[in-house]
Amino acid sequence: MSTKSPFDITGKTAIVTGSTKGIGRAIAVALAEAGAKVAVSSRDAGRVAETAQSLTESGHKVIGIPCNVGRKQELQNLVDQTKAQLGPIDILICNAAINPYYGPAMEIPDDVFAKVMHTNIQAQLWLTQMVVPDMKAQKDGAIILISSIGGLRGSDVIGAYNISKAADIQLAKNLAVELGPDNIRVNAIAPGLVKTDFARALWENPEFAEPRIAATPLRRLGEPEDIAGAAVFLASNAGRWTTGQTIVIDGGATVPV
């Protein structure tokens, strides 16, 4: 009987976008600790180098490749460089996203709305299209889209972001159906309010954060590490019969009461 952990992903190659801080970095660390070779990436070349160096010094096989996910050519370079340095891609985590507008949808500029959809949805599909050939060739792969509970709720101030995150949930379902026959699993993770730089304006505002905490059964906001374990589960053999699903991790905030 094998003693290998079902969460062991030793030797697998993973790309994690937006992985130099917050949820993305926590996922990259967790994948590396579970044995994966990881390509970390973000738009900030300095943070990419620092993250890759830190994880390498911790004994992990990690490379850093700067990439703006809104630029298709840079996405292709991310994939090509990862394959050249680490081998065929087994795991893709689409975490990078933007939310440049806070206000009513009735007033959002056309170009801002289009940029949110381009970065948060189109880029996920592009990257999936680029890594799938490797996965099809080996009849195995795991793709994880980082969505948000915003994709399950309405909002009068972050509506465009929520629309994009709802689309990520549907994209995971569609791709699961399309890619399942090749044993490629596609799932989404929908975090609640997590204490990251991305969401700092929300969790540092007591008028917003305190009512949210009071309405959350676990009575706290999330930490990036709270999300990482689910990514390892979905990327590993532990999640080998899970596809087309959205795992909500929010301390119970969306539980109907």
Determine contact, residues 18/42, Cβ cutoff 8 Å: yes
Q: Is residue 1 part of a domain?
A: no
Question: What total number of domains does the chain contain?
Answer: 1
Taking the alpha carbons of 130, 37, 247, 182 in that order, is the dihedral positive or negative? Answer: positive
- Tokens representing 72? 């298709």
pLDDT tens digits, one per residue of 101-114: 989 999 999 999 99
Q: Is residue 257 part of a domain?
A: no
Out of 158, 161, 224, 253, the active site residue is 161
- Tokens representing 1? 């009987």
Residue the block writes with tokens 């985590």 = 93
> What is the Cα–Cα distance from 30 to 36, expressed in whole angstroms?
9
The DSSP-derived string for 6-44 is TT--TT-EEEESS-SSHHHHHHHHHHHHTT-EEEE--S-
Q: Is residue 123 part of a domain?
A: yes
Determine contact, residues 17/43, Cβ cutoff 8 Å: no
Q: Ramachandran region of residue 226, left (φ > 0), alpha (ψ -120 to 50) or beta?
A: alpha
- Tokens representing 63? 């490379």
Residue 220, C-beta contacts closer than 8 angstroms, at least 6 positions apart: 213, 251
pLDDT tens digits, one per residue of 212-249: 899 999 999 999 999 999 999 999 999 999 999 999 99
Q: What is the pLDDT of residue 256?
A: 83
Q: Is residue 32 part of a domain?
A: yes
Mean pLDDT of the chain: 95
Record the pTM. Answer: 0.96
Task: Using CA atoms of 64, 9, 186, 162 in order, give the dihedral in degrees to the nearest 10.
Answer: -50
Query: What's at 192, amino acid-wise?
Result: G
> What is the Cα–Cα distance from 205 to 184, expressed in whole angstroms?
41
The DSSP-derived string for 114-158 is HHHHIIIIIHHHHHHHHHHHHHHHHT-EEEEEE--GGGGS--SSB
> What is the Cα–Cα distance from 82 to 14, expressed in whole angstroms?
8
Q: Is residue 184 part of a domain?
A: yes
Q: Is residue 5 part of a domain?
A: no
User: Residue 142 is part of which domain span?
Assistant: 13-249
pLDDT tens digits, one per residue of 159-186: 999 999 999 999 999 999 999 999 999 9
Q: What is the pLDDT of residue 199?
A: 77
Q: Is 161 a catalytic residue?
A: yes
* CATH number of the CATH domain containing 54: 3.40.50.720
pLDDT tens digits, one per residue of 3-17: 789 999 999 999 999
pLDDT tens digits, one per residue of 126-158: 999 999 999 999 999 999 999 999 999 999 989
Which H or E run contains 190? strand 184-191
